[in-house]
Chains A and B, each alone.
Chain A
């Protein structure tokens, strides 16, 4: 991911064209004006192993990125256990043989599979391999790039180039230049004995790129924290229920590897009410669970818990208490079902959560009576607002409640937002073996493989009439309430992930939008030229645009400062010479002469300033920036000169 640093031959600066090309293209090499030039880092022994080079190359990284994209695409076609367990189950039932093969390839857990981890693991390895030397170079450059440049007799040819003569002493010029460059936010190094120094801007491009790439490791670290020390669960709370934070009280429980039962806080939550509101068009508008939290605030062991807060948990507005977060995930109806035996002895009295999506718009739930023999299970269908269909309308729905009475077949739950109207509970009775110890099931499932049924359908109206089954069981549904499903989470890695995301964003922006540019400055006294008697006073700034224009490669060999030093520039207050020399500079001279007649006491130029600039990116934008810089410099020089005259 770095430009190859190998083969940095020391060029002899005799060939300025080659000099420039290597700089602009590779940004490395031991060129005289290239400040990246650092002594090569000795190769470690392992770096000579075959294949090591491939693990450092951008090409490998691109292939790996491509492989990552393709691998990530698989879950679009194959259901994943982490997002859709039921679909995986369906797939297993529909295509058992394919399921075996797919599962062996871990296609149902792509993101935890060895090959997915392999792809991004290799990618991260390549990344580290590139980042370590790059980071080392970056810091080395911060120290060494601004070291005093080597003394040079000739100015290197650079894409942007300007030369001017200044009627100030070299010392004044240097301080003025340094000040101006600082105001343009260039970082500057020290002068060497010939009055040369370097200035740089935009090193944050590389820095940003490094931050961006390293931030992925911070991100992974945060994710690791979450996985190791975090915890995730789900609870279903019926209105009025009190719930204590303990592992057994969760409906779904998935702790991290280092999250133990002792990490639970043990506080208590009372679910007071749940409210769902609808828009006029039937769409849901708001889900609110009102809860109170009770905690042992005094920290006395087995102490009484007192109410610490009351909160309305909404979607987009979770409860955050002592590092545990509670999110509103889902809601539904819970119906209180009582079942008595033929003697009137209560067998079952509990809240049964109902889930939407049953036949004919019903909500479904399950009652299990394992204490009976044979065991009895009941499949519940709840009609929040029952409709009685006509015989013909109901005819094609006949299969839903097979064996039911004529009346049942015609029942239908009113579509639209669920509101309690003529609420009816229908229970299909099964008898046999519930298979609680043999078949996989949750409390919300009824496995009827070893059961007979439905033997009979019983119909109970809410808080009204019950039903007595043929075997003597009587069913009542006295009450209905809402339940609310909350996701409970502790995520100790969240802040690390957030920091990583911020770093990533800053790094990315910096690495894409900042461009790196360098200036090379040379301030020296003007060599007197006795042969020249002309007075050429430059009207500074008149041709800055041309001056700062980029030179077209191949650069003119004649455009070295030594050559321009020989040009007739004797008594100029401040002259700018173009490189390469063109008719424009002559025109400038003419202009300057006109200007000189108007100028009050012109001062002899004492100092020659040469400024060269190079941008590594966005070269066109740099040309305008360079022009602006030069204009500003000239303005500063002029005002300084005026100031000097006044005093």
Chain B
């Protein structure tokens, strides 16, 4: 068996293992048992090993960096995504949902790579340079981690939306509920709203048996209920500012709807997601910058100009500007949170556009063997 055949087999092993990881993650989200998590960790770990072996085999067989065509490039990007996932996200049980989504993105990229499969071959003259290893490696690391940051930002937006909806439901129900009005007439304070939310605890208790995380929810929601004297206005304000667990499962009637939305409540808190996204951008933005700069140096050497608004250059500049915007927005009042996350999502969209559309449809100087 030649090394290249081995590489292909490992590649498909990795895709299979990653798909199983995604399934196991869903299993973990649904049943919250330790075993599911163990399965997903084993799958992701063995998949990543096979994936790295696949890239290593190409490198060995052709004695060059294993990112010479679009197929290899996408494979390397997803390997990087998986490295981030396995090292940063997977060890934290509360971030399981992110593992699933990131692995899903990796599987998607690998699938696209497989569609564009070209047997790894020797490189064209323009790619025969030490810069290939540096520039393309940095581009892989930069785009892979920026893409994961964008994914996390997207999940953050979903979580925010969910929080807002439950908040809205809470207030709506408070206005409509006959219990509320009845007790409100009895007790002259805003407290009844919380009396109405007492039945939650039965639901919470049922969760306790299933997992540790929900017991935290229980205690926190109980303490929040205990502090109801604090007044509705204040609590509402708190709920708007921070993510309050009382917002989940506010009514027995809503259980069916919440079962549908369950995967969103399994997401980490909005604050957690926001911090994670910011950390990932802080890590990858300088790398992306360096990738662009090194590309410019290489362009100067190979094509005789450091910048020429080639489609790929244009796109990488757009990605750079969008994430620069994200970093600035995150430090600006009024842009922090939702709006900055939207910018990061745009950046992620630009990366995907760059991978797929610019590579496949538009021709430019970067259009070697699918690049």
Contact = CB atoms under 8 A, between A and B. Distances in A.
A69 B321 contact: yes
Contact of B311 (A58, A76, A284, A487): A76
A327 B286 contact: no
Contacts of A69: 318, 321-322, 325, 346, 350
Interface string B257-295: 000000000000000000000000010011001100100
Contact of B309 (A80, A283, A318): A80
B14 interface: no
A534 B129 CA distance: 76
B6 interface: no
Contacts of B352: none
A58 B362 contact: no
15 contacts: A59-B332, A59-B334, A62-B329, A65-B325, A66-B325, A73-B318, A75-B314, A83-B311, A232-B305, A279-B122, A283-B121, A316-B125, A317-B301, A318-B304, A504-B293
Contacts of A508: 285-286, 289
Given A69-B325, A315-B125, A489 B304 contact: yes
A291 to B, nearest CB: 16
Contacts of B121: 279, 281, 283
Contacts of A241: none
Given A72-B314, A72-B317, A512-B286, A285 B122 contact: yes
B125 A286 contact: yes
Contacts of A509: 286
Contacts of B126: 315-316
Contacts of A497: 306
Contacts of A75: 309, 311, 314
Interface of A: 1, 58-59, 61-62, 65-66, 68-69, 72-73, 75-76, 80, 82-83, 111, 232, 279, 281, 283-287, 314-318, 325, 327, 329, 487, 489, 494, 497-498, 501, 504-505, 508-509, 512-513
B358 A76 contact: yes
Nearest to B320: A69
B122 A489 contact: no
Contacts of B309: 75, 80, 82-83, 111
Nearest to A87: B363
A58 B331 contact: yes
Contact of A316 (B302, B308, B335): B302
Interface string B331-371: 11011000000010010001000000110001010000000
Given A62-B332, A65-B321, 9 more contacts: A58-B332, A66-B343, A75-B309, A76-B315, A315-B125, A315-B128, A315-B302, A329-B303, A508-B285
A460 B317 CA distance: 51
Interface of B: 121-122, 124-126, 128-129, 131, 282, 285-286, 289-290, 293, 296-297, 300-306, 308-311, 314-315, 317-318, 321-322, 324-325, 328-329, 331-332, 334-335, 343, 346, 350, 357-358, 362, 364
A504 B289 contact: yes
B312 to A, nearest CB: 10
Contact of B125 (A284, A489, A501): A284
A329 B122 contact: no
A65 B311 contact: no
A285 B325 contact: no
Q: What secondary structure prevails in chain B residues at the interface with A?
A: helix
A505 B308 contact: no
B18 to A, nearest CB: 31
Contacts of B357: 76
B325 A501 contact: no
Contacts of A65: 321-322, 324-325, 328
Contacts of B328: 1, 58, 61-62, 65
B337 to A, nearest CB: 14
Contacts of A512: 282, 285-286
A491 to B, nearest CB: 8
Contacts of B364: 83
A80 B346 CA distance: 24
A87 to B, nearest CB: 10
A495 B285 CA distance: 24
Contacts of B329: 62
Contacts of A318: 301, 304
Contact of B290 (A76, A82, A505): A505
A287 B303 CA distance: 13
A501 B364 CA distance: 24
Q: Max chain A CB contacts within 10 Å: which of B129, B306, B350, B358?
A: B306
Contact of B124 (A283, A317, A501, A504): A283
A204 B301 CA distance: 33
B305 A489 contact: yes
Contacts of B332: 58-59, 62
A505 B304 contact: no
Nearest to A279: B122
A314 B125 contact: yes
A316 B129 contact: yes
Nearest to B303: A327
Nearest to A110: B309
A107 to B, nearest CB: 14
A300 B297 CA distance: 37
A325 to B, nearest CB: 7
Given A69-B318, A82-B309, A327 B290 contact: no
A282 to B, nearest CB: 10
Nearest to B289: A508
B362 A76 contact: yes
B284 to A, nearest CB: 10
Nearest to B354: A76
A498 B306 CA distance: 10
B318 A327 contact: no
B185 to A, nearest CB: 38
B194 to A, nearest CB: 26
Given A83-B364, A315-B125, A501-B293, A62 B310 contact: no
B342 to A, nearest CB: 10
B301 A316 contact: yes
A283 B119 CA distance: 13
Contacts of B331: 58
Nearest to A58: B332
A161 to B, nearest CB: 25
Contacts of B322: 65-66, 69
A119 to B, nearest CB: 11
A284 to B, nearest CB: 6
Contacts of A498: 297
A315 B127 CA distance: 9
B362 A501 contact: no
A292 B282 CA distance: 50
Contacts of A232: 305
Nearest to A328: B125
B344 to A, nearest CB: 13
A497 B311 CA distance: 21
B161 to A, nearest CB: 22
A62 B302 contact: no
Contacts of A58: 328, 331-332, 335
Given A72-B321, A75-B309, A287 B125 contact: yes
Per CB-CB distance, the 9 closest pairs between chain A and chain B, nearest first, are A327-B304, A65-B325, A315-B125, A487-B304, A316-B129, A58-B332, A69-B321, A501-B293, A279-B122
Contacts of A66: 322, 325, 343
A286 B129 CA distance: 12
B98 to A, nearest CB: 21
Contact of B293 (A281, A327, A329, A505): A505
A68 to B, nearest CB: 6
Nearest to B357: A76
Nearest to A4: B333
Contacts of B304: 318, 325, 327, 329, 487, 489
A318 B289 CA distance: 26
Q: Max chain B CB contacts within 10 Å: which of A69, A315, A497, A508?
A: A69
A512 B325 CA distance: 14
Contacts of B122: 279, 281, 283, 285
